[in-house]
């Protein structure tokens, strides 16, 4: 078994005070760092994604600009514009633990980490296949959007998937609960990161 950790979109614009900040985002950043301080050696690969949108246009309707009002389902206020502070990782997330950095949404809407590429242009599917990854744990922001989409795509890719509910934060309670129920039905294990501590005990 070879295991990867997906860290989804722990960025300034998705944490408190950001353009689309969610409650608990900063705590998720700190929690992931603390978790990796204890469990980094249990992962063969740590992959982190970031939205990396164009600031020059609406990213094929993803940004509500001009006279448009965002519907907060398919269109959103501008966020995570490439090269801005909002697109950077939250300071609570220590980057030293990350092996592969993925940028997604470069001019187009993108929710899943599988829609992005690394610095060399390789897709996440190619990265996982090249490293022989069979299991993926998923943490990050936001439960009801990019965490959901990334975990579903990991299942579709044939991975055994766990989602750690204590290391995610969602936009809304109802949609986050629905996303976790959907993921569980699709075959993901919905658990807490403390399960690893109990396993190590």
Residue from 9, 13, 137, 144 carrying the catalytic annotation: 9
* Number of structural domains found in the chain: 1
Is 99 contained in some domain?
yes
Rounded Cα distance between 160 and 137, Å, is 8
Question: Is residue 131 one of the residues assigned to a domain?
Answer: yes
In a domain, 80, yes or no: no
Please report whether residue 113 resides in a domain.
yes
111: left (phi over 0), alpha (psi -120 to 50) or beta: alpha
What is the structure's pLDDT at 20? 87
In this structure, what CATH number is given to the domain that contains residue 46?
3.40.50.850
In a domain, 82, yes or no: no
For residue 142, is the peptide bond before it cis, meaning its omega torsion is within 30 degrees of 0?
A: yes
- Show the CA angle centred on residue 115, arms to residues 105 and 122, nearest 5°: 105
Residue 55 is predicted with a pLDDT of 63
Active site residue 104: yes
- Residue 140: per-residue pLDDT: 98
Locus of tokens 């959103």:
76
Name residues whose C-beta falls within 8 Å of residue 144's C-beta, 6 or more positions apart in sequence: 170, 171, 172, 175, 176, 178, 179
Spot the catalytic one: 80, 137, 146, 153.
146
Q: Is residue 111 part of a domain?
A: yes
9 is catalytic: yes
Structural domain includes residue 62: no
pLDDT at residue 156, rounded to an integer: 97
Q: Specify the pTM.
A: 0.92
Q: Which of 80, 104, 137, 144 is catalytic?
A: 104
Q: pLDDT for 136-195, tens place per residue?
A: 999 999 999 999 999 999 999 999 999 999 999 999 999 999 999 999 999 999 999 988
Active site residue 80: no
Q: Do the domain assignments include residue 75?
A: no
Which pairing describes strands 135-141 and 100-104: parallel, antiparallel, or unpaired? Answer: unpaired
Range of the domain at 180: 3-51+90-200
């Amino acid at each position: 078994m070879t295991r990867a950790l997906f860290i989804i979109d722990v960025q300034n614009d998705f944490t408190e005070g950001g353009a689309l900040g969610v409650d608990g985002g900063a705590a998720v950043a700190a929690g992931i760092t603390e978790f990796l301080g204890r469990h980094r050696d249990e992962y063969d690969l740590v992959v982190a994604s970031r939205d990396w949108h164009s600031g020059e246009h609406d990213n094929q309707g993803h940004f509500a600009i001009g006279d448009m009002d965002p519907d907060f389902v398919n269109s959103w206020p501008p966020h995570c514009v490439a090269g801005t502070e909002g697109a950077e990782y939250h300071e609570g997330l220590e980057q030293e633990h990350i092996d592969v950095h993925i940028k997604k949404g470069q001019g187009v809407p993108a929710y899943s980490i599988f829609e992005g590429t690394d610095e060399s242009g390789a897709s996440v599917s190619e990265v996982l296949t090249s490293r022989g990854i069979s299991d993926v744990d998923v943490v990050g922001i936001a439960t009801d959007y990019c965490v959901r989409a990334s975990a579903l795509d990991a299942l579709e890719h044939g991975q055994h998937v766990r989602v750690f509910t204590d290391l995610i934060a969602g936009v809304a309670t109802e949609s986050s609960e629905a996303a976790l129920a959907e993921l569980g039905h699709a075959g993901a294990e919905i658990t807490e990161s403390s399960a690893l501590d109990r396993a190590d005990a």
